[in-house]
Amino acid sequence: MEEYPEELRTPPVALVALVGCPELHAVISTHLHSEQPPINTLALPDFSKISLISKTPKQPPHSAQSLGIFKRDWLLKHRTRVPSVVAALFTSDHVSGDPAQWLQLCTDLENLKLGNIFAELSNTYYRDEGRRIKTCLERKSISSVELSIRYCFKVAVYAEFRRDWVEALRFYEDAYYTLREMIGTSTRLPAIQRLVEIKTVAEQLHFKILTLLLHGGKVVEAITWFHQHNTSYKGLVGAPEVNFLHWEWLSRQFLVLAELLDMTSATIQSTVIATDKLSEWEFSSAYYYQLAAHYLKEKRSCFELTLSMSETASDIDGNAESVAPSVYVGQFARLLEQGDTYTMQPITDEEYVRYALAEGKRFQDSFEIIALLKKSFESYTNFKAQRMASYCEFKMAREYFSVNEFGNAKLLFDSIASLYRKEGWVTLLWEVLGYLRECSRILGSVKDFVEYSLEMAALPVSIAGVQSLSSKECGPADPASLSQREIIHKEVFELVRGESGLASNEENNSVRVTGDQPLHLEIDLVSPLRVVLLASVAFHEQIVKPGAPTLLTLSFLSQLPHTVEIDQLEIQFNQSVCNFTIVNGQRPQSAAISNVQPGHRVETAPALMLSTNKWLRLTYDIKSDQSGKLECVSGPHFTICCRAESPASMNDLPLWKFEDRVETFPTKDPGLSFSGQKATQVEEPDPLVDLQLGVSGPALVGEIFAIPITISAKGHAVHSGELKINLVDTRGGGLLSPREVEPFSTDNLHVELLGVSGLESEDDNIRKIQHSFGLISVPFLNEGDSWSCNLEIKWYRPKPVMLYVSLGYSPHSSEPNAQKVNVHKSLEIEGKTAVVFSHQYMLPFRRDPLLFSKIKPGPDSDQMASLPLNETSILIVTAKNSTEVPLQLLSMFIEVDDDDIGSLAQCNTGLRTLQTLHSSCLEKSSRRFSLSFPR
């Protein structure tokens, strides 16, 4: 659409000429531009320039000789040089008259709205011009079809000036239908140029009609009109020597519609509903961008063919220099210089063909095709149409490949191949891999070339192959077939064995796989090379004892067309001491095998041959293995690292899933194939270190309770040992971590871990101590050594707790990743109150029958005891030993807050003390008593 002039792409805007008073032109122009619709201005400084806008006298229409359909600059002239209104501006000095007339003039000027009056006068002018031309059409006084088309076009343009879209659309359609009558009947121009002119005019009329329909929200009508336009002109190819012009013209029609749909996409998405005649894709710009690229490719093919067959190809550029567009739309002429003037001379069809070929050589269609396909790809991606987007992406990649931009082509082909693998489209994947293989060869990437070649050789292609595609359609690779797979297989293995090189365009050299340039491929669980080599590992036992042997079955499967002989297999585990190597007994030992480190386990297999779709099974015993990966080595310079898979969780090969082939199991035992895992659990070795927790006596509230911990290294040395201590409520809970402990208040604590005593260097050994958790480092201990410490715990309230002590150590080394052995011990401890106090009052015996002989409040009651006034009462205080060891009572004290309340007598009787209390007044009093004793 950018090729169209601006006056065609935008709606006409009325033009007003301002004459005189140039200092006011800027203000008036700004005001008129802000009007709706806006009005353009043509400013003339004085009346001497009025001749610039005067019209030349015209001959009557019936007597005019028609040289073309309509002039190229007519629309621009009416938008920029032919005003609809001329406004003459005068100063007050130039106006004379009596005072009454002057006042009337001032009043009229005050009431005048400049924008409104200009709009009304402009509409009147364009309406009158349209009526004048319509009168000629209605009288049938036009002598040629060209004039009829021209007049319909002018009436439509004048209607657009007035914003009368309905009348404009009607006359544009009349002009379009009348133009069809010229096909095959007009002889004014030579045949080729006549068809070019008709198509150019039809293109402009079609664009105007499309724009008006979409502007009015008639999307369905616009799409239907486009299909009618396409059907009418698609078959008008023209002469074979210029048929490329037809495909270029057709491509431009689709491009223009796509751009118009993009401009009105918001309206389309909210109003369009697919109909019986139109599919959903026909409302999408992506569809038309794709077809525009398709027809532009057709134009390029025809142009290259025409250029190759042209006998005057060497003279094309020189003869086309003086040819230029003529005065009329769609016509071309030779520009001749005659003194100071230029004249237009008609040209023959032969001259026009040479001009068209010269113009075609100036443009590179491939980049325009790529731009169109990219727009289509982005639009399809926004619609989440992944398959259509990938199709456009494939076309883009082929264009990049054709212009030798192999880096960009390879990026796009890689993205496409991922989708084709997922969808299982073998034939399309074969074609894409062929392009990728060729891009890698040209770029000199040996690794990529080998990967794509191996994947192509392992694709499920039948014996007959796909005969529906020609060699040209398959790109660099020939049509997919079993024989072609075998050729690729042979070629790639000759390369990796160093028998041949890879011809590269980079610096025009040949790349080889050698010892200085080895090749290493990685095959993981999602790699497309799983079809090349599939590795399975199954331990026969899920749990084994440390040092106890267990069987390990290795299984390999390949879909390559030829048998592959492996030189060496290296099996690696997460414990390097368990790694071992399997060598091929039928092959001489290579340099890689001779460089095996001393003590490394090497096994010899009778043969390491991988046949097509046949499992290679190897079973060996292994000790202390957990999991690992398999590394397959083929030749001294070529290595394939294959991630092992478990038979029980191994996925099928997607591209081979529905092929007619024999299904086999990775292991001979079907049960192991369904349950085997590539990892086995090696149990933790039995600890040979003794952990003892000692108890020195009962835990009493208020005392510091010491618990001795002793570690004895009986059979293991202790490296990097550490003790974890946890205090847990017996009602539940687990081992706590310092990060999981929430902030606490010491008033709410029942039990607290105070610290650790008995350490040689407490700063080095104590890492972390909290109220219920501790972490202590244990020094290195040789076999037979021991180490001890004391835990200090304090109870604030009676409560039973569980003490958990865990010892973790490494029996062999102090490395951070060394295997740890753990010893766990637990102990339940109940903190008790040493002495429990109780008391009671004894009232005078039968002195007052209304009082009880004993007054004993409830256990949790705050109610004070009531005693008789001026009487002697007996207070009995009892101290009870609640521990499991004897306690010696040293003393007991009873105090009264206020001595004026009553008198107190004291009597010590060993473990039992009787005291009398004489109350002198009926008041509440609180008493304290305490007792002390040695342990």
Average pLDDT over residues 154-175: 94
Domain boundary among 121, 143, 165: 143
Percentage of the chain exceeding pLDDT 90: 25
pLDDT surpasses 90 at 635:
no
How would you classify residue 256: left for phi > 0, otherwise alpha for psi between -120 and 50, otherwise beta? alpha
Domain final position from 680, 707, 724: 680
Mean pLDDT over 904-916 rounds to 42
181 in a structural domain: no
Average pLDDT value for residue range 3-12: 88
Query: Domain for residue 299, yes or no?
Result: no
Asked if 150 and 70 count as a contact pair (C-beta separation under 8 A), the reply is yes
Residue 871 pLDDT more than 50? yes
Query: Do the domain assignments include residue 326?
Result: yes
Are residues 501 and 582 both part of a single domain?
no
Same structural domain for residues 753 and 857? no
343-397 pLDDT tens trace? 888 889 989 999 999 888 888 899 999 999 999 999 999 989 999 999 999 999 9
814, 839: one domain: no
**913 near 931, Cβ under 8 Å?**
no
Beta strand spans in 819-901 (E): 821-832, 835-842, 854-855, 871-881, 891-896
Residue 830 has pLDDT above 90, yes or no: no
**What CATH number should be reported for the domain holding residue 546?**
2.60.40.10
Question: CA of 409: how far to CAs of 297, 435, 670, in Å?
Answer: 17, 9, 46
Confidence band of 735 (pLDDT split at 50, 70, 90): very low
**564 and 706 both lie in a single domain:** no
Does the model's pTM come out above 0.75?
A: no
With cut-offs at 50, 70 and 90, classify the pLDDT of residue 627.
very low
What angle, 0 to 180 degrees and rounded to 10, lies between the N-to-C axes of helices 365-382 and 386-402? 160
Quick one: 55 and 127 in the same domain? yes
**Report for 430-444, 812-826, 902-916: range of highest mean pLDDT:** 430-444
pLDDT in tens, 540-564: 877 777 777 888 888 888 889 999 8
pLDDT tens across 77-129, in order? 998 888 989 888 887 776 676 777 777 777 777 767 888 888 899 999 999 99
- Per the structure, the count of domains in the chain is 6
Q: Is 161 within a domain? A: no
Q: What is the CA radius of gyration of the chain?
A: 51
With helix as H, strand as E and coil as C, how does 194-240 read? HHHHHHHHHHHHHHHHHHHHHHCCCHHHHHHHHHHHHHHHCCCCCCH
Q: Which of 480, 497, 439 shows the shortest CA–CA distance to 633?
A: 497
Answer whether residue 628 shows pLDDT above 60: no
State the average pLDDT for the chain.
Answer: 79
Q: Write down the pLDDT at residue 910.
A: 43
Mean pLDDT of 253-263: 93
Q: Is residue 660 part of a domain?
A: yes
Query: Is there a single domain that holds both residue 532 and residue 672?
Result: yes
Domain harbouring 871, CATH code: 2.60.40
**Is there a single domain that holds both residue 556 and residue 674?**
yes
> For residue 720, is it within any domain?
yes
Query: Are 29 and 130 in a shared domain?
Result: yes
DSSP codes of every residue in 624-656: S---EEEEEE-SSSEEEEE--B-GGGPPP-GGG
Instruction: Say whether both 54 and 134 belong to one domain.
Output: yes
Instruction: pLDDT band for 453, please (50, 70, 90 cuts).
Output: very high
Q: Which residues are within 8 A (CB) of 411 and not within 5 positions of it... i.e. 6 or more apart?
A: none
What pLDDT score does 926 carry?
36
pLDDT computed for residue 396 by the predictor: 96
Per-residue confidence (pLDDT) for residue 194, from 0 to 100: 92
Mean pLDDT is lowest, of 285-299, 331-345, 844-858, for: 844-858
In a domain, 176, yes or no: no
Residue 716 confidence (pLDDT): 84
C-alpha to C-alpha distance for 488 and 484, rounded to whole angstroms: 6
Q: Where are the extended beta strands (E) located within 363-434?
A: none
Q: What residue numbers bound the domain in which 897 lies?
A: 835-932
Residue 613 is predicted with a pLDDT of 85
Verify that 355 and 445 share a domain, yes or no: no
928 shares a domain with 889 = yes
Residues 534 and 676 both lie in one domain: yes
Looking at residue 831, the DSSP 8-state letter turns out to be E
Structural domain ending residue among the three candidates 814, 832, 850 = 832
Q: What is the predicted pLDDT for the residue at 925?
A: 34
User: Is residue 378 in some structural domain?
Assistant: no
For range 678-705, the mean pLDDT: 79
Percent helix / strand / coil, the chain, rounded to 5: 40, 25, 35
Q: How confident is the model at residue 281 (pLDDT cuts 50, 70, 90)?
A: confident
- pLDDT given for residue 567 in this prediction: 84
Q: What is the pLDDT of residue 591?
A: 43
> How does DSSP classify residue 513?
-
- Whether the predicted pLDDT of 331 surpasses 80: yes
Name which residue leads in pLDDT, 504 or 249.
249
Judged by average pLDDT, the poorest of 267-276, 398-407, 583-592 is: 267-276
